[in-house]
Amino acid sequence: MKNLKYLFISLLAVLFVACDDDFDTPDVTEPVQGTAPVLNELTEEIDLVLMKKNEGETIVELTWSETTFADPIGVRYYVQIDTVGNEFANPLEFDRIAATTTTITVGGLNELISGRYPPAKQVELEARIRAFANEDLNSLYSNAVSMKVTPYLDVPIPSEFYIYGTATSESDVTKALKAYGANDIYTKYLKLTKDGLFKFAEKQGNDGYDYNFGKFATKSDNIEAAGDDAGNFKFTGETGWYKVEADFVSSSLNITSHVVGSATYGFDYDNLYMVGDYNSTDPTWDAGNAVAFTKVSEGVYTIEKALKDGAQFKFIGQQSWGDLDWGNIQENGNTGILGPKTANGNITFDGGDAEYDITVDLNAGTFTIVAKPVFPTELYMTGNGVGPDDENWDWKNELQFVPVNSHPELFWKIVWMKGSGSFKCAPQAAWSNDFGRDGDATNGVYAKGGTDIPVPAIAGYYMVVVDLANNTIEIAEPKVYGMGNVFGGWDGGDPADLFTVDNTNKVIKFDGVPNDGELRMYVDAPTLNCDWWQAEFIVLNDKIEFRGTGGDQDRVNVTAGDNISLNFLTGAGSITTP
């Protein structure tokens, strides 16, 4: 009886342990008992080039049957992706879901596979569903469906695209050269220099996205990494004119020569011509009589033309419809970006019959059309600080400036300033369109604006130069020079030929000219950007006669020892023999 008692206790202990094990871990039968998911077949074949711009779009919606295990356990699902034929030996998985349907987007699939598969190359994939209950149960798997996709390098697609660097004509990103874009492909024709560096930006500024060497999956053979910290590209081809194509669809960058017929396009030609229907004087679309540009420098050409509304024109490298032909890139328009033959349209422009400076820069692959400014032909000053004593803001004495020959933007005047007061300028001797100082004076130069210009604190003669192109007014020490064989030659600028300013007697003079002969006089100032003959004058009939925009002036004969006196306050002049 005693042995039976202990046997009974032992059986209870074994039974208790067995029941405890069953409570913690269910009895699992291998293989797993349950119903595997069945993935619905695709209704159409998937053969797709993935693109960044479509990253939110759906590639496919997958639907499958519900999975049940032998035990009532919650099921979660994973979409697995692997290479066709790899038997899911090393699958990639999307995050788990509880539903039996899911969508795969362009961006989602690209993000999942981009670490394994190179961009811009097609890959054949298959997808299946893995059903999961817990770690102690084997997963159940669905059938697989296949798809062909081409992943992309995940970089932002720019709305605008610019190139710059030492390989181009512009190395500063703030002046980077704009490319033409269509369908996420950007094209630029320009000069590239062998072994120069370059890269791209989304804007002309340092705060834009930087498209460096790592931003393209494939490059043409004439491009390599510069190996610098900036991630520049290095161009290894020969110096020449090329087509640069940045393709964000295929994540490729290609540089190729442009060839038409027998002509491989270059960047520097002796002649360039303008042809089209653009004004009422030049021939219409007559290549044989096309008008020649002026060559400014290597690859740069300019011409001045009147352009009508509805003007259309192109640039050609010969006076015929030959291979050399440039216009607006790809289509008719006025983008400022050049395209060669087979890749251009007419340049279109509404010019209103005004005059324009047209510049073609083959180095940069650009053209510009800039209206020639229309400057007034006359300019006056008035104020309580300039001119005769009775001049006081009423234009009474019409203090007129002298225009500079061949520089319609420049005017000068030597004027008496009273030591107090101020003045303003206007294109007529009246209050209209007047201008003066804008802000504080800097180094004697005043910007165009609306407030009065104060005169210097010391009374005397001063030289005033107005530059309407740069909106500046300079007040400087007056400089008057003699010119001619009287002073030893016609070169100008010799300090020995400089007249003396006599503010006490209100004249500018030269006592005792050194030689017999002919002379003229001219003025100079730091901002008077012209040659001496463009700002000259003579003394004739006891008056100062200014050349202005008129023809060549006479030369005045003098005798050695003669004195010259110029009163710019009254306009009187004299040449006297002591």
The per-residue pLDDT for range 325-341, each reduced to its tens digit, is: 999 999 999 999 999 99
* Exposed/middle/buried for residue 229 (C-beta within 10 Å: 0-12, 13-18, 19+): exposed
Among residues 371, 390, 420, the one where a domain terminates is 371
Question: Scanning the structure block, which residue is given the tokens 């190395």?
Answer: 171
Q: What is the 3-state secondary structure (H, E, C) of 28-75?
A: CCCCCCEECCCECCCCCCCEEECCHHHCCCEEEEEEECCCEECCCCCC
Label residue 12 by pLDDT band (50, 70, 90).
very low
Phi and psi (nearest 5°) for 18?
-65, -45
| DSSP β-bridge partners for residue 484 | 489
How many C-beta atoms surround the C-beta of residue 402 within 10 A?
20
Flag whether 195 is in a domain: yes
Q: Please check whether residues 131 and 220 belong to one and the same domain.
A: no
What's at 159, amino acid-wise? S
Are 244 and 198 in the same domain?
yes
- Residue 113: which of 154, 76, 75 has the closest Cα? 154
Which residue, chain included where needed, has tokens 């999961």?
Answer: 132
- 405 close to 532: Cβ distance less than 8 angstroms: no
Burial of 563 (0-12, 13-18, 19+ CB in 10 A): middle
Domains of the chain: total: 4
Do 524 and 403 share a structural domain?
Answer: yes
pLDDT tens for residues 85-143?
A: 999 999 999 999 999 999 999 999 999 998 899 888 899 999 999 999 888 889 999 99
| DSSP code at position 176 | P
Residue 108, H or E segment: helix 106-113
- Retrieve residue 109's tokens: 């699939």
SS3 (DSSP) at 359: strand
- The average pLDDT across 428-448 equals 76
pLDDT, residue 25, reads 44
Distance CA 371, CA 307 (A): 10
Per-residue model confidence (pLDDT) at position 158: 94
Number of C-beta neighbours around residue 321 at 10 A: 15
d(CA 400, CA 379) in angstroms, rounded, equals 6
pLDDT at 473 over 80: yes
Look at residue 97 and tell me if it is in a domain: yes
Is the residue at 212 inside a domain?
A: yes
Rounded mean pLDDT, 266-280: 97
Same domain, 100 and 237: no
Same domain, 365 and 388: no
Q: What is the CATH number of the domain that holds 446?
A: 2.60.40.3610
> Does 548 lie in the same domain as 537?
yes
Question: Would you place residue 21 in the very low, low, confident or very high pLDDT band (cuts 50, 70, 90)?
Answer: very low
pTM over 0.95: no
CB contact set of 446 (below 8 Å; sequence gap of 6+): 436, 437, 438, 453, 472, 473, 474, 475
Q: What are the backbone dihedrals phi and psi of residue 271, each rounded to the nearest 5 degrees, phi first?
A: -130, 145
Same domain, 220 and 178: yes
pLDDT at position 73 is 78
Sign of CA dihedral 79, 82, 88, 92: negative
Q: Which amino acid is at 521?
A: M
CA-CA-CA-CA dihedral for 503, 505, 507, 510, to nearest 10: -100
Whether residue 462 sits in one domain with residue 362? no
**C-alpha closest to that of 358 among 279, 407, 305, 394:** 305
Residues 356 and 394 in one domain: no
**Domain end point (choices 371, 405, 437):** 371
- Residue 288 phi/psi, 5° resolution? -65, -20
The CATH number linked to 108 is 2.60.40.10
Q: How far apart are CA 361 and CA 378, in angstroms?
A: 35
1 occurs within a structural domain: no
pLDDT at residue 2 is higher than 70: no
Q: How far apart are CA 63 and CA 99, in angstroms?
A: 9
The confidence score (pLDDT) of residue 71 equals 72
6 found inside a domain: no
CA dist 276 and 290 (Å) reads 8
407's enclosing H/E stretch is: strand 407-417
CATH number at residue 241: 2.60.40.3620
If asked whether residues 318 and 385 sit together in one domain, one would say no
Range of the domain at 183: 161-257
Residue finishing a domain among 329, 355, 371: 371
Instruction: State phi, psi for 343 to the nearest 5 degrees.
Output: -140, 35
Q: Is residue 155 part of a domain?
A: no
User: Do residues 404 and 465 share a domain?
Assistant: yes
Look up residue 500 and give its amino acid. T
- Taking Cα atoms as reference points, which of 449, 446, 419, 418 lies closest to residue 434? 449
Q: Does the residue 480 lie in any domain?
A: yes
Q: According to the model, what pLDDT value does residue 4 have?
A: 37
Token pair 């010119």 is found at 483
- Predicted pLDDT at 441: 60
Peptide bond into 456 cis (omega under 30): no
96 and 53 together in one domain: yes
DSSP 249-267: TTTEEEEEE-EETTEEP-S
